[in-house]
């Protein structure tokens, strides 16, 4: 039994060791990812529920690793957050996607509105020069501030409400739109969020997924949409995968929707082709 115990211990240690080495390697590689131009932005359409037309995109980062292939954000964003590397990554995504959106606006002037939604990590959000940097990116890319939507989670606000309020006010003053991502998964209420200058609520996919099977979910989403409307916020349903879900959302007068039913996140070339086709879902 003792030998077995030792053997198990060794396996355990080796695994821990391997994991630590792999993590360190990932961090080292990630440090170079931007300079080596290994990061990619994919664009997922956001659609008006009423008209079925594309109104914008969410920018979603990927890492094209030379050996490991395309790595999804879930596998490197946590490491990036821990090491602070998320700040240059988020900045790069922001610049890249603002530039890209401006290009599409010039290329497809008849498609209006056309906005870009960019995710902002908590670390990035609490950078002292965030507002200045974003302002600079908007000027350099010549993008109207109203075309940019920044997505933050409730936890970012709750972590430091007073600071968050001040930063959000400054971003709002620039004319940028502000979104709460994954709404419903945190602990805050809409009544609480109303104290912050939020324009858009993105209802988390977990609520939308259960929409077609569960009457309670319908009631919850209806309540969110009604209250958001009363507070002057618009609502995006995330993770819409079925026509049934879309039909329900239409009945509930949800403003916008995003999900595999319309499109997966696409690279810029495929997005250009999609825009050129002017689809109506
Ligand atoms: P998120 O912001 O909630 O983004 C939505 C995620 O849901 C994306 O995963 C998207 O591909 C996926 N999705 C969209 N429609 C559907 C659907 O119909 N069904 C299902 N099952 N999934 C759908 P992705 O691209 O893997 O991103 C995961 C998370 O990584 C994002 O969640 C966001 O929190 C984070 N992330 C992505 N890009 C960035 C970035 O540039 N900066 C930061 N800070 N975080 C990012
Ligand atoms: Ca998001
Ligand atoms: Ca989300
Ligand atoms: Ca999420």
- What are the tens digits of pLDDT across the range 176-223? 999 999 998 887 788 888 889 999 999 999 999 988 666 788 888 999
Model confidence, pTM: 0.93
Q: Give the distance (Å) from ligand 4 centre to CA of residue 30.
A: 21
CA dist., res. 277 & res. 281, Å (int) = 12
Count of beta carbons in the 10 Å neighbourhood of residue 34:
15
Quick one: the chain helix, strand, coil %, rounded to 5?
55, 20, 25
Mean pLDDT, rounded, of the chain: 92
Check residue 214 and give its pLDDT.
Answer: 66
CA dist., res. 33 & res. 265, Å (int) = 21
Confidence band of 6 (pLDDT split at 50, 70, 90): low
pLDDT digits (tens, 9 = 90+) for 122-150: 999 999 999 999 999 999 999 999 999 99
- Does ligand 1 have an atom closer than 6 angstroms to the CB of 186? no
Most confident range (mean pLDDT) of 6-20, 38-52, 199-213 is 38-52
Ligand 1 nearest atom to the CA of residue 77, by list position: 45
Check residue 245 and give its pLDDT.
Answer: 94
- List all residues 6 or more positions away from 144 whose beta carbon is below 8 Å from its beta carbon: 138, 175
- Does ligand 1 have an atom closer than 6 angstroms to the CB of 74? yes
End-to-end CA distance of the chain: give it in Å, rounded: 64
pLDDT digits (tens, 9 = 90+) for 64-120: 999 889 999 999 999 999 999 999 999 999 999 999 999 999 999 999 999 999 999
């Amino acid at each position: 039994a003792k030998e077995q115990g030792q053997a198990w211990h060794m396996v355990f240690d080796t695994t821990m060791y391997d994991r630590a080495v792999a993590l360190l390697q990932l961090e080292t590689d990630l440090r170079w990812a931007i300079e080596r131009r290994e990061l990619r932005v994919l664009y997922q359409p956001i659609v008006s529920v009423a008209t079925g037309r594309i109104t914008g995109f969410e920018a979603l980062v990927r890492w094209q690793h030379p050996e490991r292939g395309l790595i999804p954000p879930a596998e490197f964003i946590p490491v990036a957050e821990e090491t602070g590397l998320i700040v240059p990554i988020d900045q790069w995504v922001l610049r890249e996607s603002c530039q890209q959106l401006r290009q599409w606006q010039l290329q497809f002037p008849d498609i209006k509105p056309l906005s870009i939604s960019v995710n902002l990590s908590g670390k990035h959000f609490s950078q002292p020069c965030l507002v200045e940097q974003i302002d600079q990116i908007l000027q350099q890319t010549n993008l109207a501030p109203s075309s940019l939507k920044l997505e933050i989670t409730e936890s970012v606000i709750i972590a430091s409400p007073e600071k968050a309020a001040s930063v959000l006010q400054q971003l709002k003053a620039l004319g940028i739109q502000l979104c709460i991502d994954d709404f419903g998964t945190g602990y805050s209420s809409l009544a609480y969020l109303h104290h912050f200058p939020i324009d858009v609520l993105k209802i988390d996919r977990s609520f939308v997924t259960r929409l077609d099977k569960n009457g309670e979910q319908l009631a919850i989403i209806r309540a969110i949409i009604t209250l958001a409307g009363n507070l002057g916020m618009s609502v995006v349903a995330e993770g819409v995968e079925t026509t049934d879900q879309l039909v329900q959302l239409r009945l509930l007068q949800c403003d916008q929707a995003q999900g595999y039913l319309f499109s997966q996140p696409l690279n810029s070339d495929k997005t250009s082709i999609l825009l050129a086709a002017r689809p109506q879902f």
